[in-house]
Amino acid sequence: MTEEVIGKIKLDYTYYPGEDFYCDGEIEDELLEIVQNHSREEFRAIIEEKASWPVLYHLSPLRENIVEWIPIEPGAKVLEIGSGCGAITGSLARRSGSVTCVDLSKKRSLINAYRNQDCDNVVIHVGNFQDIEPALEQDYDYIFLIGVFEYGQGYIGGEQPYEEFMAIMLKHLKKTGRLAIAIENKYGLKYFAGCKEDHLGDYFSGIEDYPNGGGVRTFSRNGLINILEANQVEQFHFYYPYPDYKFVSSVYSDEYLPKVGELSLNFRNFDRDRLLLFDEKNAFDGLIKDGMFQEFSNSFMVLTGPEIETKYAKFSNDRADHYAIKTEIGRAPKNRWYVDKVPMTISAKSHVESIATAYELLKDRFEGSCIRMNQCIPAGEGLRFEFVGGRSLEELFDERIDRKDQEGFVALFKQYLEVISYRSDVPVSDFDLIFPNILIDGDCWNVIDYEWTFGKTIPPKELAYRAFYCYTLGAQKRREFDEKLILSVLGMTESEAARLREEEGEFQTYVTGERLPMGELRNLLGYKMHSPKVWEAQHQDDQEKQRVQVYEDRGEGFSEQESYFLSNPYDNSGRAELLLTFSEDVVAIRIDPVLDSCITTIEKISWNQEPIELKSKKVTTNGVKYGEDTFVFETSDPNITIDLHGLEHDELNECRIALIVSRIQSKNAGAFKKTSKLKWN
């Protein structure tokens, strides 16, 4: 069979070798079963139910975001290399004239065909790229390599596989066509911060320039530029998908870079455990200030050809369908900047229309104040907003945090509260007057986003607390600000604040339609984040608790002043042999084997070389006897006391004690106590 039709999609097997040489095993059978028996609308619920990285990766609708912002003409001719399970094929098909897919795997191509079977403009060629490539046409408007270029060695081979791979792709483009490459940055900040390399699954291999080899290579920005220039590509433009190209939240460009405070969605590796070596948000803020963001962006999207108008895109489709929208910032001829908001689903059209209504209502309410609502007008299926300047209120608050200017922070917050309280009795409220949505330009407070506007009065203090609360969620340094100062300004109790935080959770559930946001999906998958800072603290705590404390009683009882520590005298097996010396006026000694709950075996005790029997009343303990010479201490203050009355004293006395100690949790010590049948004297 050289051809198969599934729905409206044709699969061409002319070059298929008869078996799949690339396969992820049983997961592909599971994916095939899902797309054969479930609609796209059901995928998100299935993703949450399965709690599986491959299911999330291959079926999440957010995968399409990487191409949704590219202005593909309705009649465009598109080639997609490495189409896999069709994560972006549907988006390309909906917005172009035709899509030609190439993929090595028949199983994955079947998954692609079933999930996109309603597309009548897609042909999937199954087989080795080198076999299929000579038969491909040479007049494509767009060629997409999404997560594919890094496999150039496997596709092409040879000494310069990536340069040759690009050269082959370029010859299949129209002169006015565009090659689109999405790929990880080998020096992406997430790899320095503790994420494993996406393909090899180890730490720092890309940063170390792949010292152990392997068939995959990602590149730095300059590395990609060198390959483009080697192919004499004169026009190319870099874009920066964030957090990375897999599940894009925002796309930046050299003409529109992120601002300080914007990059806070940094725990977005979903496929394996990671380390937390530093706060990526703070690091990104520093890189942005120093003009180095482009070099450390986690991913790149490179578009060849003339520049396009879109300079920035933000996707809000991690929501219920009727609230899924896309925001784009573009630059038209004559350097005219604009902002568009467009529905990403049919059901979201009414939500976008409601924003235009909100503009009129809010404009009337705040007329005469320093607040200015960013004007919007209908444009195509969405709305076009004017592009305004100024510094975000979030950035101004951050400056005060960085300067530790608590007084200045409170003063600015009081000003914010006064501004948003203007005509607060009018029954219309912008619920989303959060700090990033306000740009201050001189005396003018520009509100750039009023998507969540309600036809009712909401007390300004509640709006202000929500803004502060959302602000603190963005960075650890913000959470360290004393909330009591803000509550005092608002005249609000902690119980009122707790109620508002609970309502915020309910609002987020309302927006997402009870779907799990991507951050919570990561937790659902079960991969851990390990912090060396925590390890270090635990190690220091271990070292602290592993000390032996010795007390001396000179007739007035034991006291901290008459004690000293022996720092970790134990060997790797937990055994220590202590030789302690005491002056002749010491009448009793106490030895705390560790500063934690423990099981302690006392191998021997002697005083001036004379053994002391454990059964004698000279030795007492606050533990429970668990064997002939073993005691369980449920307390974090275990002690062994030796009464020296009646024992022979010299001018300098020696006490030898050999112990084997194992620290345990107090709850486990309690369990030992319950099973113990032996009594201590």
pLDDT value at residue 672: 62
Considering Cα of 31, then 36, then 40, then 46, what sign does the dihedral take?
negative
Lookup result for tokens 């690339």: 22
Give me the chain's average pLDDT, please.
93
Q: Edge-to-edge strand order for the sheet containing 619-621? A: 563-566, 548-553, 588-592, 640-643, 619-621
Indicate if the pLDDT at residue 309 is higher than 80: yes
| Predicted confidence (pLDDT) at residue 676 exceeds the cutoff of 50 | no
Chain segment 45-104, per-residue pLDDT in tens? 999 999 999 999 999 999 999 999 999 999 999 999 999 999 999 999 999 999 999 999
Integer Cα distance of 15 and 217 in angstroms: 27
CA geometry: angle 473, 477, 482, nearest 5 deg = 85
**Among 98, 183, 177, 172, which Cα is nearest to 142's?**
177
Q: How confident is the model at residue 680 (pLDDT cuts 50, 70, 90)?
A: very low
Question: Residue 111: phi, psi to the nearest 5?
Answer: -60, -45
Average pLDDT over residues 402-407: 94
Distances in Å between the Cα of 425 and the Cα atoms of 362, 390, 430, 453 are: 13, 28, 13, 15
Cβ atoms of 444 and 370 closer than 8 Å: yes
Omega within 30 of 0 (cis) for the link into 343 = no
Domain 3-319 belongs in CATH node 1.10.10.10: no
Q: Establish how many alpha carbons lie within 13 A of residue 436's alpha carbon, considering only the half-sphere containing its beta carbon.
A: 13
How buried is 620 (Cβ within 10 angstroms: 0-12 exposed, 13-18 middle, 19+ buried)? middle
460-472 and 494-512 helices, crossing angle to 10°:
70
What mean pLDDT do residues 299-312 have? 97
Share of the chain above pLDDT 70, in %: 98
Q: What local confidence, expressed as pLDDT, does residue 481 receive?
A: 93
Q: Is the pLDDT of residue 681 over 60?
A: no
| DSSP class per residue in 219-241 | B-HHHHHHHHHHTT---EEEEEE
Q: Judge whether residue 581 has pLDDT over 50.
A: yes
pLDDT at 674 over 80: no
Rounded Cα gap, residues 634 and 632, in angstroms = 6
For the chain, the distance separating the N- and C-terminal CA atoms, rounded to the nearest angstrom, is: 87
Flag whether pLDDT at 666 surpasses 90.
no
Band of residue 678 on the pLDDT scale cut at 50, 70, 90: very low
CB atoms within 10 A of CB 429: 25
Confidence of residue 531 (pLDDT cuts 50, 70, 90): confident
Residue 129, pLDDT score: 94
Of residues 255 and 267, more confidence is placed in: 255
What are the residues facing 379 on neighbouring strands? 382
- For the segment 203-215, the average pLDDT, to the nearest whole number, is 91
At which residue do the structure tokens 């590796």 appear? 269
CA angle (103 as vertex; 241, 250 as ends), nearest 5: 10
Q: Under DSSP, is residue 586 helix (H, G, I), strand (E, B) or coil?
A: coil
Q: List, in order, residues 6 or more apart from 395 with CB less than 8 Å away.
A: 259, 260, 261
Residue 565 pLDDT: 93
Q: Compare 440 and 520 and report the one with higher pLDDT.
A: 440
Residue 673 reports pLDDT greater than 60: no
Confidence class for position 669, pLDDT limits 50, 70, 90:
low
pLDDT at 20 over 50: yes
Strand 588-592, strand 575-583: pairing: unpaired
pLDDT at residue 677 above 50? no
674, two tokens = 């319950």
**What is residue 628's predicted lDDT score, i.e. its pLDDT?**
83
CA atoms within 13 A on the CB side of 157: 3
- Residues ≥6 apart with Cβ < 8 Å to 597: 633, 634, 635, 636, 638, 663, 664, 665, 666, 668, 669
Task: Report the pLDDT value the prediction gives residue 670, as an integer from 0 to 100.
Answer: 61
Number of helices followed by number of strands (H, E) in the chain: 23, 34
Q: Would the pLDDT of 135 be above 80?
A: yes
Q: Which residues contact 443 (CB under 8 A, 6 or more apart)?
A: 370
Residue 679 has pLDDT above 90, yes or no: no
Residue among 378, 383, 268 at smallest CA distance from 325? 383
pLDDT at 532: 86
Domain range summary for the chain, segments of one domain joined by +: 3-319, 545-675
For the segment 487-504, the average pLDDT, to the nearest whole number, is: 96
Confidence of residue 668 (pLDDT cuts 50, 70, 90): low
What is the token pair recorded at 109? 């191509």
